[in-house]
Structure 1
Amino acid sequence: MGVTEIESADCVVGAPELQIVASTGSTNDDVMELGRGSAPHGACVAAHEQTAGRGRRGHGWGSPSTGLYLSVLLRPDVPMSHYMGISAVCGMGVLDALHSLGATRAALKWPNDVVVPATDASALDRKLAGILVEAGTGDSGMFAVCGIGVNLERPTLEGDMGSVNPLAPAGIADAMAEGAVAPGFDELAQAIRDAVVARVDAWAAAVNSGHAVAGPLAPVLSEYFDALPLMGARVDVVYPNGNVAATGDFVAVDVWGRATVRLEDGREVVVSSEQASLRRAAW
């Protein structure tokens, strides 16, 4: 798999072993290889450093040694059309883990980045973690790999960090509640893996219960709204090249994960995360 210096890590009872490595090219590539074989749901590789990390839309992803880089193999028993919901569900799982460890200031930025929201309305949120979900097929059928990068410390932005004009970074200490102690690498890796798997399992059960006929995010949509601090705020709709397409109020996310922004003239713009991203607008 191209991983080295495997350290020990305690796992929850019944869960696959979590492999922690010093360095690898890409944890997503490592877990993709596991997924093509017979590795079980929940298999995971976490690294202190990546040398060939990547972000959304094929961008490179800076992966300095001040971070946690972790990928989880997911085999939810849901219709293929519902795989597009996994990204948001995994974001909620990462948030579960962070909140359980005292990082209660962390929140989601549509569709699934983890940010530390600005306390000043004129300031921008800071990015704590990014998530990339990729699908694959193998001996055991279709699967997804959820790749997560978390800043344990505030990194210096250098090179291609995954987008044009990226948000300034936050470190885990920026997200901690007053008086809480920031978790270490091993503790955070274990908590994130377990919480992501738990979230995906609960979501898949809800999908199969028939409550998600309307779309993949139907079972979690209300809770997902609550995790998005930009909901109701004035935002810029930003294309991948950095150009601002529109400015308005972020008013909704639908069951397919698309965001709705209401312009000043009352018209509504609906965008998918592949088309654009949302940024807090300057007044």
Structure 2
Amino acid sequence: MAALELDALGRIEVLDEVGSTNDELMARARAGAPHGAALRARSQSSGKGRRAHLWSSPAGGLYMSVLVVPEVPDRLLPGLPVACGLGVVQTLYHLGCKSARLKWPNDIVVDEGKLGGILVEVSRSSGRTVAVCGFGINFRTPHVEHPTDGSLPVVGLMRCLPSGAMLPEIDELAELLREGVLLSVEEWTDRALAAGSNAVPLTGIIDNYHQFLAYIEEPVDVFSPEGSDYDIRESGVLRGVDGWGRARVETEPGKIEYFDASQVSIRLHKGDESR
């Protein structure tokens, strides 16, 4: 999408409350909404996380979804969430949040803790593939009454900005994030199509992903979700991801195991949670 087209996008619609911005925007996509359409809500009653988990969305956060109509073969679509995530964290980085990183596969973290999360959902409608990139970012640090054991502390955007930096107005931040997501997707699309039949999902963006990947080259635990509990499956050193987005964990010297984000999660190794 060229800069002129970005300028031509309509304003981001703001809803006082919605069940889920992803669900609402996907319904609009099926009704013909265009690439780049976006909406945000002041609060969500049924915010969505990975594996159908509910996402707490009290008033005061930025809860937003951007519609993407990908122009790549279906086999490359697993790279779309990474392209969208890079658009979000790079925007935050350029705003001054220099510690913004992507915790594999979909959390936005900073040195102080968890800043937000990203959920990309893909569907087919009227013969076209459509996707919504939804993200929730703590504009200011919320109060968490019952934190989950082992979870990172929840922080707001101001906590990760340099001293004296001005927090952008939430409407301005939303526009910057939409632009960041769309430009990142465009860059990924161009590089993947240029590679032709040799392209894999992360073609052209894997190096950038590694620059913004949290815990790379650090000890981690790999968890297998079972109900509401998490059991450690393996421990090792995170060596990055492969071209399909699978986590590469060195579980023994010279032994790399590959993990799919649909089956596991990763945290810093026990004893390092405060980092």
What is the TM-score when the length of structure 1 is the normalising length? 0.87
- Paired residue for 1:129, among 112, 116, 130? 116
Deviation at 1:187, TM superposition (A): 1.1
Tell me, yes or no, if structure 1 residue 181 matches structure 2 residue 166: yes
Which residue number in structure 2 is paired with residue 258 of structure 1? 246
1:210-225, aligned counterparts within 5 Å? Answer: 210=195, 213-225=198-210
| CA deviation profile, 1:83-120 (whole Å, cap 9, x unmatched) | 111111111000122122222221111123210125xx
Greater CA deviation, 237-246 or 76-85?
237-246
1:96-107, aligned counterparts within 5 Å? Answer: 96-107=90-101
Deviation at 1:223, TM superposition (A): 0.9
| Cα pair 2:191 2:203 within 8 Å, conserved | no
| Cα pair 1:135 1:145 within 8 Å, conserved | yes
Cα distance between partner residues in 1 of 2:136 and 2:197: 29
Instruction: State the number of aligned residues.
Output: 264
SS at match of 2:54: coil
Cα distance between partner residues in 2 of 1:21 and 1:247: 43
1:1-283, aligned counterparts within 5 Å? Answer: 12-117=6-111, 126-139=113-126, 141-157=128-144, 165-210=150-195, 213-240=198-225, 241-281=229-269, 282=271
Cα distance between partner residues in 2 of 1:46 and 1:134: 16
Assess, with a 3 A threshold, how the Cα gap between structure 1 residues 13 and 156 changes in structure 2: closer, same or farther: same
Cα distance between partner residues in 2 of 1:165 and 1:48: 28
Q: Identity, % of aligned pairs?
A: 37
Cα distance between partner residues in 1 of 2:161 and 2:78: 30
| Cα pair 1:116 1:174 within 8 Å, conserved | no
Assess, with a 3 A threshold, how the Cα gap between structure 1 residues 211 and 164 changes in structure 2: closer, same or farther: farther
Cα distance between partner residues in 2 of 1:183 and 1:112: 24
Which is richer in strand?
Answer: 2
| Cα pair 2:76 2:200 within 8 Å, conserved | yes
SS at match of 1:188: helix
Structure 2 gap ranges (5+): none
CA RMSD of the aligned region, Å? 2.0
| Cα pair 1:35 1:137 within 8 Å, conserved | no
Structure 1 gap ranges (5+): 1-10, 119-125
| Cα pair 1:82 1:216 within 8 Å, conserved | yes
Assess, with a 3 A threshold, how the Cα gap between structure 1 residues 46 and 233 changes in structure 2: closer, same or farther: same
Cα distance between partner residues in 1 of 2:224 and 2:111: 21
What is the TM-score when the length of structure 2 is the normalising length? 0.90
